[in-house]
Amino acid sequence: MDKIIEDYKITLQRKFFSQTTINAYITDITKFLEFLPEQNLEVIPIEIMNYRKYMKENYKVSTVNRKITTLNNFFRSLDIDVRLKVERVHKRRIKDDFLTDKEYRRLLKFAINEKIRITMIILANTGVRVSELKYIQVENLKTGVVEIENKGKIRTIILSKNLINTLKKYCREYNIKKGSIIGVSRIYVHNSLKRSAANARGGLRKSKVHAHAFRHLFAVQFLKKNNNIAALADILGHSSLETTRIYTSLNKRQFQEMLEDII
C-alpha cells in the first residue's frame, strides 16, 4: 500500500499539483485504504458504497464531494473500474459573506503596514492567487503584461495603468529594482489580513477577510463593469465556466434591491 500511495504522489507531482493539494489527496486516499478490510484493493467494488455511507454520516456534502473526486482520480490512475457520483447540491445564489468594495477601501486604510496594503491592492486588481504574486515583477511594469504558471498551465494577465503607477511608486520608495515586487507567504498574508481587519473594526467581520475574498472582489467588479464571464474565466485561469459562475452569486442586499420595484 505504501508503494501505491508513493507512486500516486509522484503522479500528482508530475501534473504540477501544489504540495497542499497533494497532501490533501494523500490524506483522503490513506483514510480510504485504512477503511478497507486488510487494505485489500480487490474489495473496493464491494466496500466503496459502505465508505460512501461512512462519509455521508461524518462529513458535510461539500467535503464528501471533494473526497469522491479524489478517490475517482485515484481509481482511474490504477485502472480500477469504479466511479462514484458526487452528491447533488442545490446551489445557493444568495450569499452574504462577500467582501464589498467599501470594506476593501476600509481595509486599505487600516492595513498594518505598506507591504500588506500593496498585497491587497494587487490581489483586488488582478484576481491572482497569493501563490501567484511572485510572478508580478518589476520588469513587468514596463510592458504591463504578466505570465503566470499554475498547475502546468500558463496564462497572461494585463496590469491596469493605475496599478502600474501604484507599483512603480512602491518600488521607488522601497528600492525594489528587479524581481518579484511582493514576496509573501500564505501564513503572512492570512495573519496580516486578520490584524488589519481588527484595526478596521466598524462592523467588518474577520470571517470575510481572507486572501480569496480579494479574488472574489476582483471577479465581481470585473463582471459588473464588463459582463464578460468568458474573459473573466481566462483571467482567473478557470478551465470551466461553471467555476467562474460562482462569482455571479448575489448577496442579500442586492436581491432586495432587485425586488424593490417589482410591484
**Tens digit of each residue's pLDDT (9 = 90 or more) over 127-142:** 999 999 999 999 999 9
| pLDDT greater than 90 at residue 255 | no
Q: How confident is the model at residue 42 (pLDDT cuts 50, 70, 90)?
A: confident
Q: Which of 28-32, 121-125, 191-195, 231-235 has the lowest mean pLDDT?
A: 231-235
* Res 89: pLDDT: 64
Q: Which residue has the higher pLDDT, 241 or 74?
A: 74
Q: Examine the pLDDT at 123 and tell me if it is beyond 80.
A: yes
Q: Is the pLDDT of residue 13 over 70?
A: yes
pLDDT range class, residue 256, cuts 50, 70, 90: low
Q: Is 65 left (phi over 0), alpha (psi -120 to 50) or beta?
A: alpha
**Residue boundaries of the structural domains of the chain:** 2-77, 95-259
- According to the model, what pLDDT value does residue 262 have? 54
Instruction: Compute φ and ψ for 227, nearest 5 degrees.
Output: 50, 45
- State residue 94's pLDDT score: 45
Residue 254 in this model has a pLDDT that exceeds 60: no
Handedness of CA 126, 130, 136, 137 (dihedral sign): positive
Domain formed by 2-77, architecture: Orthogonal Bundle (1.10)
Query: Model pTM greater than 0.85?
Result: no
Does the pLDDT of residue 249 top 80, yes or no?
no
- The closest alpha carbon to 183, from 110, 132, 109, 148, belongs to 132
What is the percent of the chain with per-residue pLDDT over 90, rounded to a whole number? 42
Top pLDDT among 90 and 123 is at 123
Taking Cα atoms as reference points, which of 130, 123, 167 lies closest to residue 150? 130
Strands 153-158 and 145-150, bridge-based pairing: antiparallel
CA distances from 186 to 130, 139, 258 (A): 6, 24, 37
Summarize pLDDT for 186-243 with one digit per residue, the tens.
999 999 999 999 988 776 788 889 999 999 899 888 888 888 888 888 888 887 777 7
Phi, psi angles (nearest 5°) of residue 259: -85, -15
- Tally of CB atoms within 10 A around 226: 10
Residue 95 CA, distance from chain mean position? 17
Q: Name the maximum alpha-carbon separation found in the chain.
A: 66
Express as a percent the part of the chain with pLDDT over 70: 90
Instruction: Give residue-wise pLDDT tens across range 149-193.
Output: 987 788 999 999 999 999 999 999 999 999 999 989 999 999 999
Q: Which helix (H) or strand (E) holds 14?
A: helix 2-14
Q: Whose CA is closest to 122, among 177, 173, 160, 171?
A: 160
Class of domain 95-259 (CATH, top level):
mainly alpha
